[in-house]
Structure 1
Amino acid sequence: MIEFYKYQGTGNDFILIDNWNGSFVADKQQFVQKWCERRFGIGSDGLIFIEKSDKADFKMDFYNPDGSQSFCGNGSRCAVAFSHHLGHIKNKKTVFEAIDGIHEGELTESTVKIAMHQYDGIEFIGNDYFIQTGSPHYIHYKDKNQAIDIYEYGQTIRYSNRFKELGTNVNLVEILDKNHIAVETYERGVEAETFACGTGATACGLSYAYKNKLNAGKIRVDVKGGQLDIHFTAKSSPGEFENIWLEGPAKYVFKGVIDDNN
């Protein structure tokens, strides 16, 4: 019997398992594929094992529903909240290990913030953007109230010749107001729209900052499951940013027990 917890960050939902003692011995990829399935399993946008790290306070071992691995922003925020609940984090600030390296985290009264990484600046694909924030993100700005189906559009980009082998996340962005955007995301590994994507909100926030020549500040990002804030500072090199933080709620939903013999 395996105890699990369910958390969500702006509708991005995750199964979390405390593997601090290394007692989980099953095939992780098969386990993830089985239990992330929404009709025959628990259902989630990913599964996270919390494990010991010799580099940080804890390690977040994250898997997409198809068993693949990448960095996950909202999953990281939920992992920080869960690790604090378990007592692996003794105060409000932490450092944790993820697939792309070390990240800082901080719990506030109502949110969880994590430090994000940007890789390789910004690539321009026609009028669109491609930004790596731990996961790859293709970004297209649409006109206000323009009707584009994110699932169909996302599949067109994700399975295009360039991206079909390794995949990419695909984002549609609408500008709502000054420093305020709305984002829809098709996620690789889930192969569907999700209610939120932390690395996607971050990438879109950075694209907006570049587009509007902003040197520092905060971008509010509306997603299907709520709101996220992206904090940033521009570097001297165009299209490159530092002091990047992803902030938003990370909520406990429920806990249960898995009988994996069935």
Structure 2
Amino acid sequence: MHPVDSIKTRVQASTLSFPEIISKLPQIGVRGLYRGSIPAILGQFSSHGLRTGIFEASKLVLINVAPTLPDLQVQSISSFCSTFLGTAVRIPCEVLKQRLQAGLFDNVGEAIVGTWHQDGLRGFFRGTGATLCREVPFYVAGMALYAESKKVVQKVLQRELEPWETIAVGALSGGLAAVVTTPFDVMKTRMMTAQGRSVSMTLVAFSILRHEGPLGLFKGAVPRFFWIAPLGAMNFAGYELARKAMNKNEELAGDVLSQKKVDSSD
């Protein structure tokens, strides 16, 4: 899905519209659409792994410390903790990825050297506030929306969801959460692709509203929806399906162990 993200970044980083960027695809080329994929993979790998681990650990702590806490609050607090820490690790990779996607540099090495020379160490953490303002609501709202949507669908169907239905609910939840948090994504892109000058989130927001209007804060919402929806299916539904599979394996292992004990006692 990286090419879709590249299109979104180019829309947000420029004054061009989505159709205008699409018309320029032959000039950008396949290589241009996949530019920034290396830091994207490294950032996502570390961030998602850390976030999933912290999410599970936070849920266990909350369930033991506050067993009467509603499930929705447990999900939301766990999502907040895991997203905050997981995202902080990914910021430098995100800066390099977006600068490569916007066409500011040709390769990762050039992006690292150029960012260091132009902005110093702080340049690798540019847009941290906007990224956290985007990621935390996205995952908190996304997980809550996913959990509640799944309950509603199960109540309507009066049965457990099939795997494909779980994936569909996850995709829709992720896509809707992505559209809602697009303004922060636009500000993040503008901040990360601004070279040699430090810009605040407030300044970027007022600049967009002044020159592009309120709709300017939703630039790239369409490609962002189609980029995040499959990721939502993998993040929310895929995570749950994997967890169910692991729980089933644990139950089977427990049954086998119990059977062995019975056989040995006989």
TM (norm. structure 1) is: 0.27
Choose between structure 1 and 2: higher strand proportion.
Answer: 1
TM (norm. structure 2) is: 0.27
- Structure of higher CA gyration radius: 2
